[in-house]
Amino acid sequence: MSTTFRFEPEGRIVVMTIDRPLFGNAVNSQLAYELADGWRRFERDDGLDIAIITASGEKDFCLGADMYEMADFFKARDRGESEGTDPVKGLPAIWEAFRAVTKPVICAVNGRCAGIGLSFLTESDIVLGSDKAAFSDPHVSWGGMSTSALAKLLGRMPLDLINRMNLLGKGYWLDARRAFDVGLIGEIT
């Protein structure tokens, strides 16, 4: 039984729910592999036509990778105590499985969406956002580089806003109304 992810078929639709609300629905190593398995399961099941990716709770859709898990892993590795699964290794599995999906995917953003959360949005066919949705790319705030998600947003929103997200990191959040106005999300629900 998963403690981080729910795969719930409802007729020909499956609702795939990220279920780590106490951690901002951030993707840890366990969730990464469960998400990858969920995408493969959806693609293989001829009884399922549409997937909806969403998250539990009302505050956060997905705040990206679990930076605390990553920090703990790399600190332990640096001390020569490299027990556990490298949390970074699970991330490519998500995208390999998600990009192999040939059926429609709806992304239902029900709160703050950042980092990896933006990638779910850019890989989906239809994007809906609640009035509590907000979008950011915190990579620069962590000393990292932006993901390919921002590059994929070039066709959806103005370069100025992409640059703000990229250069201001967690200091800049695009709210649901503005995201709808610029075409990042197709509907506010």
Q: What is the pLDDT of residues 82-123, one digit of tens each?
A: 666 666 677 888 989 999 999 999 999 999 999 889 999 999
**Contact partners, residue 144, CB within 8 Å, separation at least 6:** none
DSSP-assigned letter for residue 6: E
Q: Which pLDDT score is estimated for 162?
A: 87
Q: What is the pLDDT of residues 122-180, one digit of tens each?
A: 999 999 999 999 999 887 777 776 667 777 888 788 989 988 888 898 899 999 999 99
Residue-averaged pLDDT of the chain: 89
For domain 5-188, is the CATH number 3.90.226.10? yes
Q: Evaluate if residue 64 carries a pLDDT over 70.
A: yes
Of 123, 67, 126, the residue nearest 94 (C-alpha): 123
Instruction: Give Cα separations from 178 to 39, 92, 99, 162 (angstroms).
Output: 30, 30, 28, 13
Helices (H) and strands (E) in the chain, counts: 7, 10
d(C-alpha 144, C-alpha 32), whole Å: 20
Partners of residue 14 on adjacent β-strands: 9, 51
Q: Which pLDDT score is estimated for 96?
A: 92
Of 130, 107, 102, 23, the residue nearest 67 (C-alpha): 23
Cβ-contact 101, 160 below 8 angstroms: no
b/e string for 3-34 if b means 16 or more Cβ within 10 A? ebbbbeeeeeebbbbbbbeeebbbbbbbbbbb
Task: Identify the H or E element spanning 134.
Answer: strand 134-136
